[in-house]
Amino acid sequence: MRSIDEPNVTTSQSELLKLLIGGWVSSSIGAAVDLGLADLLRRGAMDGEAVAAAMGVAPESLTRLLRMLRALGIVVRDDDRRYSLSPIGELLRSDHPQSMRNLVRLYQEQYFADAWSELVPALRDGEQPFTRAHGETVFDYLGSRPDALAVYGSGIAVGSMFVADLPNVYDFGGKCVVDVGGGDGTLLDVILAAVPDSTGRLIERQAVVSAAVDRLQEYIAQQRCEVFAGNFFDPLPAGGDVAVLCRILHNWDDERARAILENCRAAMRAGSPLLIIERVVSDLRPTPVATAFDMHMFVMTSGRERTDEEYRRLLASAGFELVSIKGLPLEMSLVEAHAR
């Protein structure tokens, strides 16, 4: 006799199987990026043989990759068996204004995979997976490998596309924005371009501050922006109207995150706002993206994505009061706190 639960079991098996092949999906998209498929197809629809010849790959093997990319919605095929890019596939072009090509490249880095391979042992003994795999922290690893750091930086910049929505969510009009750990200046560039009467200050480590200087040169020349070499674990320059920590705190455990917040508080006036831009996880309605990044922080760093209550407690311990949490694209959130 067939069990009444059998159809549900089959459906569940199918759904689980779709999850299990996620690594193969990512690798196939990565192969398409490495081969330059999207940049080739932006010129127009091509049949498989022409694509294979242009990329210097075996036609039969490419046919199988293209079939998978069709199933994933990356490419489409017309009645003449010519391939072209879908709207999702367009995002893999190097010249697309919202290109995610460099993020694909970052997620294919071998040091990511090596760190994730230590997940089970790390869950058992509590040792940090990346350090277990590589014998050093991810920040030390990248600091001694310029090529890996360049791929990391370009990938992180792609992952920052949500900042384009910031001026619509928070009023920066007439304010001096202090971007603490501001990377290559992407966030300040967006704010200064969108809000003509705003000004900015960026603080970043000496080793990478030159990238911010290059990006913000126009605003520096206009005397709307200053760039400082510094470390958020050291005392920060005072001043500014609103401080920003964009994807900083999730890299650190509570003790180190509190030290960063305390340095921010020491440089701020009572009542001044601090904007924290991170993914906020929910225990009530967890989502795959936010929880996946939380696990990635576990694997790669000592940090974590935090719940709203965890942010409330952490902020209070450093002299801030959580005021509001607003949604941003890509499951990011704008956490606003005020210095007490």
Is there a single domain that holds both residue 131 and residue 215? no
> Is 134 known to be catalytic?
no
Which residue has better confidence, 7 or 323? 323
Is there a single domain that holds both residue 77 and residue 134? no
DSSP 3-state assignment of 173?
Answer: coil
Q: What is the mean pLDDT of residues 6-27?
A: 89
Structure tokens at 287: 């989502």
Is there a single domain that holds both residue 148 and residue 196? no
Is there a single domain that holds both residue 252 and residue 307? yes
Predicted local confidence at residue 81, as pLDDT: 95
> How far is 105 from 111, CA to CA, in rounded Å?
12
Predicted local confidence at residue 3, as pLDDT: 52
> How far is 55 from 298, CA to CA, in rounded Å?
38
Is there a single domain that holds both residue 113 and residue 248? no
Q: What is the mean pLDDT of residues 315-325?
A: 98
Helix H or strand E segment including 163: none
> How far is 131 from 141, CA to CA, in rounded Å?
9
pTM of model > 0.85: yes
pLDDT digits (tens, 9 = 90+) for 229-284: 999 999 999 999 999 999 999 999 999 999 999 999 999 999 999 999 999 999 99
Q: Which residues are 277's β-sheet partners?
A: 246, 334
- Answer yes or no: is 270 within a domain: yes
Is there a single domain that holds both residue 149 and residue 203? no
Helix H or strand E segment including 46: strand 46-47
Is there a single domain that holds both residue 65 and residue 139? no
- Answer yes or no: is 102 within a domain: no
- Answer yes or no: is 1 within a domain: no
> How far is 271 from 205, CA to CA, in rounded Å?
27
Is there a single domain that holds both residue 164 and residue 151? no
Q: Which domain holds residue 39?
A: 6-96
Catalytic residue among 96, 134, 250, 296: 250
End residue of a domain, out of 96, 119, 146: 96
Contact 330, 161 (CB under 8 A): yes
Count of domains in the chain? 3
Is there a single domain that holds both residue 91 and residue 118? no
